[in-house]
Every structure is written in structure tokens, then in C-alpha cells.
């Protein structure tokens, strides 16, 4: 399923670029507890004299880390499938999603400050239930290869801010396979940083671990800022994508989109497709066409106010988070066809600006309705 592959890639890239640091801030303690208490048994005199070639020493620190990540992958993939199945029932409005992202970003700030060493924020941090903490501590003390996997599986109960964004994308996917794909991809994307941290936790001294925590905290602060700015755009409250004359399309003339040129899609051997983004049909209805690839094109429109208007989402090998299209002010949420059109009735708009965005607030645009055009 191409859409599931696209969501898998979206989840993996998000996890690689932003999710690793965010989740490390929230789940780093569980990772450290799972991998540092399982020590390699001291060699006997026989093994000291005869090197063990079947289990190289260099690989030993990575074994519990791999088990932790396997458990994390299993639980998050299962959660993604469930969110995809029940997405229509669970799906909150775009602005509710944005509020959740803002809250997650604020929590990430607290975790980052705690990692940096600001002691006064400790009492403000959300903590898992005491019973869960006791279970983790008992599991971490057990010298079993399964222990890190159990702790990794349990991380689904302690989500980070970027994880919540991926969960919302899984909800909008509308299927078990697509939901599982986006969550599995996200965990795979975070795996390199978790593997590095786990290895360092196994090998490093306490002093080095403290410096590592501080560095992670600085990175998490940056990720928190990114999350909260994206949330503000996802809620339709602000747009940091300022309009420019070269990117704005007016109702007074057509806009030509050349296939394969800056659209984000593969294109077909230089073929071109003419699209008129703002036009009026024979019945007098205004038609605004937004081309959706991995991006939106164009991102700025000027249209007539006071006339019935339909927004056509023209999917052209669309993929990634751009497919999860929202208009926060109207509560519109649509999954764009990969190759096809999705119509959104905007009604008769008064003069003003209508913002649109992807569900994660990463890609935005605006339609400015004016009189006298």
C-alpha cells in the first residue's frame, strides 16, 4: 500500500530528525534502568584463559539495548494499528490536536530543564503511577534477557511530545496498516539515538552520563520549541509562512504548475499539467484548486469574497503529512487522495484570511478572500 509506505517514511524521518531527543528526555530513565543493571557476568578462570568467540565483548552492551528497542517497536506498532482502526471515533478536532501538542511541548520543556539540572522543576514533572515505577524497578533488577524488552514495551505508557504528534497522524490514517506503519517508522527513526544512548549508558561513567543528560536537555529544548511552533500553526492561530508576490495566486488569472518541477512528486518524463488554482465555473461557483504532492502548491491564494466557493485538493502522487489536510477554523480534516480530487465546501466566505495546514503544522498556507476582484 503506497500510502502506508509514505506514512512509514514520514514516521521514520520525524523520529530521526526530532523524535529521538524528545523521547530520550521522557524515556531516557527507563532506558538507563533497563540496560545498566544487566551486567555481563565476570569471567571464570577458564573463560579468562580461553576467549569466548561466540559472544564478542563489543556486542554485549548492545544486546539489552536491542531488546529494549524491540519491545518499544512492538508496543508502538500495536498502538498505531489500534489508533488507525478506531481513528474516526477517536479523532479530535484540529484545534484540540494543537492544544495537545502545545501541552506536550510544555512538558518537554520541563523535562529538558530537569535534564540540564534545574532542580526547581522536578516537582512539576509528570510521573508515571507509583505501581508502574515499582514494576519497572523490579524488572530492571532481574538479570534476564527479556527484562529490557518488557521495559521497552512499557514505554508506550510514557509518550513524548513528538510521539503524540505521530499518534494523531495514525488516528487520521483511517486503517490499521497505515497507523501501524507511521508508529513503527517513528520508532525506527528514533532507534539510532536510543542505541547510542544505551551504549553510552552501558559504557560510560556517572560523570559522563551527567554531561550527556545536559546535552540531551539542550537538544530537547530546541525540539520543544519546534513542537510548540508547529502546534500554533496546526491550530490556525498563526502562520510563519509569510506570503510573497511570487508565490501568491489571484482570482484574476491562472497559475501554471509544471509537472515534476518543484512539486515534490516524481513527474512523468517532463510532461506538464496546467492547473488553474482560482476560477469560476459556469454556475458562478468559485473553484480553488490546491495541488498536494509531498507539499502544497501554491501556498498563497487571493480569491473573491461573497461567492460560493469549493476548495479542490488535487492529489498528485501525494504523500507524507501533507495528505492529512486541515482547516482549523472550520474543523475540516481530510485525507487527500494519493492521485485524485477531494472537494471541500467552503461556503460563501466573508472578507478575511483562511489558514490551512497539515495535521502536524509543518506545512501551511492561506486563502485571502477580498471584495472587488
Is 125 contained in some domain?
yes
- Based on the fold, state whether residues 77 and 204 are members of the same structural domain: yes
Query: 348-364 pLDDT, tens per residue?
Result: 999 999 999 988 788 89
Is the predicted pLDDT of residue 73 greater than 80, yes or no?
yes
Is the predicted pLDDT of residue 322 greater than 50, yes or no?
yes
Which of 29-38, 190-199, 250-259, 320-329 is the least confident region? 250-259
Is the predicted pLDDT of residue 269 greater than 50, yes or no?
no
Which of 137-151, 171-185, 266-280, 302-316 is the least confident region? 266-280
Strand pairing partners for 355? 366
- Based on the fold, state whether residues 153 and 49 are members of the same structural domain: yes
Is 83 contained in some domain?
yes
Which of 1-15, 51-65, 176-190, 342-356 is the least confident region? 51-65
Is the predicted pLDDT of residue 254 greater than 50, yes or no?
no
List C-alpha distances in Å: 249 to 31, 162, 253, 361: 50, 33, 8, 22
- Based on the fold, state whether residues 17 and 163 are members of the same structural domain: yes
Task: Select from 190, 212, 234 the last residue of a domain.
Answer: 234
- Based on the fold, state whether residues 141 and 11 are members of the same structural domain: yes
- The phi and psi torsions of 308 (rounded to 5 degrees) equal -60, 135
Task: Select from 181, 213, 234 the last residue of a domain.
Answer: 234
Average pLDDT in the 41-64 region? 50
- Based on the fold, state whether residues 14 and 157 are members of the same structural domain: yes
Is 157 contained in some domain?
yes
Query: 75-131 pLDDT, tens per residue?
Result: 999 999 998 888 766 677 888 878 877 877 787 787 778 778 888 876 776 555 566
Q: Residue 14's pLDDT is what?
A: 76
- Based on the fold, state whether residues 218 and 308 are members of the same structural domain: no
SS3 helix, strand, coil % of the chain, rounded to 5?
55, 15, 30
Query: 275-305 pLDDT, tens per residue?
Result: 678 999 999 999 999 999 989 999 999 999 9
- Based on the fold, state whether residues 38 and 153 are members of the same structural domain: yes
Tell me the pLDDT of the chain averaged across its residues: 75
Query: 20-35 pLDDT, tens per residue?
Result: 776 776 676 667 666 6
- Based on the fold, state whether residues 255 and 194 are members of the same structural domain: no
Rounded CA separation 303/279 (Å)? 9
Q: At 346, is the pLDDT very low, low, confident or very high (cuts 50, 70, 90)?
A: very high
Is the bond into 298 cis (omega within 30 degrees of 0)?
A: yes
Q: At 49, is the pLDDT very low, low, confident or very high (cuts 50, 70, 90)?
A: very low
Q: At 60, is the pLDDT very low, low, confident or very high (cuts 50, 70, 90)?
A: low
Average pLDDT in the 136-165 region? 68
- Based on the fold, state whether residues 195 and 334 are members of the same structural domain: no
Q: Output the domain CATH number for residue 295.
A: 2.60.40.420
Q: Residue 92's pLDDT is what?
A: 75
| pLDDT > 90: percent of the chain | 25
Is 240 contained in some domain?
no
Q: Residue 74's pLDDT is what?
A: 94
- Based on the fold, state whether residues 210 and 249 are members of the same structural domain: no
Is 43 contained in some domain?
yes
Q: Residue 318's pLDDT is what?
A: 82
> Could you tell me if 65 and 33 are in contact, meaning their C-beta atoms sit under 8 angstroms apart?
no
C-alpha 176, offset from chain centre: 17
Which of 9-18, 118-127, 327-336, 359-368 is the least confident region? 118-127
Q: Residue 257's pLDDT is what?
A: 34
> Could you tell me if 121 and 107 are in contact, meaning their C-beta atoms sit under 8 angstroms apart?
no
Is 204 contained in some domain?
yes
Q: Which domain holds residue 210?
A: 2-234
Rounded CA separation 232/100 (Å)? 11
Q: Residue 272's pLDDT is what?
A: 42
Split into its structural domains, the chain has a count of: 2
> Could you tell me if 154 and 75 are in contact, meaning their C-beta atoms sit under 8 angstroms apart?
yes
Task: Select from 234, 259, 283 the last residue of a domain.
Answer: 234
Is 196 contained in some domain?
yes
Is 239 contained in some domain?
no
- Based on the fold, state whether residues 252 and 325 are members of the same structural domain: yes
- Based on the fold, state whether residues 327 and 227 are members of the same structural domain: no
Amino acid at each position: 500500500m503506497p500510502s502506508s509506505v509514505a506514512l512509514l517514511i514520514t514516521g521514520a524521518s520525524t523520529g530521526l530528525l526530532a523524535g529521538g531527543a524528545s523521547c530520550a528526555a521522557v524515556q531516557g530513565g527507563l532506558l538507563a534502568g533497563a540496560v545498566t543493571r544487566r551486567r555481563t557476568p565476570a569471567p571464570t578462570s577458564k573463560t579468562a584463559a580461553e576467549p569466548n568467540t561466540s559472544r564478542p565483548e563489543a556486542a554485549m552492551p548492545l544486546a539489552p539495548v536491542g531488546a529494549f528497542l524491540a519491545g518499544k517497536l512492538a508496543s508502538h506498532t500495536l498502538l498505531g494499528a489500534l489508533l488507525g482502526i478506531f481513528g474516526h471515533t477517536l479523532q479530535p478536532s484540529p484545534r484540540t490536536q494543537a492544544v495537545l501538542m502545545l501541552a506536550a511541548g510544555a512538558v518537554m520543556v520541563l523535562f529538558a530543564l530537569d535534564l540540564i539540572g534545574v532542580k526547581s522543576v522536578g516537582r512539576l514533572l509528570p510521573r508515571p503511577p507509583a505501581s508502574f515505577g515499582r514494576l519497572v524497578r523490579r524488572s530492571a533488577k532481574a538479570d534476564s534477557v527479556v527484562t529490557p524488552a518488557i521495559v521497552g514495551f512499557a514505554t508506550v505508557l510514557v509518550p513524548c511530545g513528538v510521539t503524540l504528534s505521530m499518534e494523531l497522524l495514525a488516528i487520521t490514517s483511517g486503517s490499521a496498516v497505515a497507523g501501524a506503519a507511521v508508529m513503527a517508522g517513528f520508532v525506527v527513526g528514533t532507534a539510532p539515538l536510543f542505541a547510542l544512548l544505551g551504549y553510552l549508558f552501558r559504557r560510560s561513567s556517572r560523570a559522563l552520563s551527567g554531561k550527556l543528560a545536559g546535552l540531551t536537555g539542550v537538544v530537547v529544548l530546541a525540539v520543544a520549541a519546534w513542537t510548540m511552533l508547529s502546534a500554533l500553526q496546526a491550530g490556525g492561530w498563526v502562520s510563519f509562512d509569510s506570503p510573497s508576490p511570487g508565490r501568491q495566486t489571484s482570482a484574476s488569472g491562472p497559475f501554471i504548475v509544471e509537472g515534476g518541477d518543484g512539486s515534490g512528486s516524481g513527474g512523468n518524463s517532463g510532461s506538464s499539467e496546467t492547473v488553474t488554482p482560482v476560477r469560476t465555473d459556469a454556475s458562478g461557483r468559485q473553484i480553488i484548486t490546491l495541488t498536494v504532492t509531498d507539499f502544497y502548491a501554491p501556498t498563497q491564494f487571493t480569491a473573491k469574497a461573497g461567492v460560493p466557493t469549493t476548495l479542490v485538493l488535487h492529489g498528485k502522487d501525494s504523500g507524507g503529512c501533507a495528505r492529512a489536510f486541515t482547516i482549523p477554523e472550520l474543523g475540516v480534516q481530510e485525507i487527500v487522495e494519493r492521485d485524485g480530487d477531494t472537494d471541500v465546501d467552503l461556503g460563501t466566505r466573508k472578507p478575511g484570511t483562511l489558514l490551512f495546514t497539515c495535521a502536524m503544522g509543518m506545512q501551511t498556507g492561506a486563502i485571502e478572500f477580498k471584495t472587488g476582484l
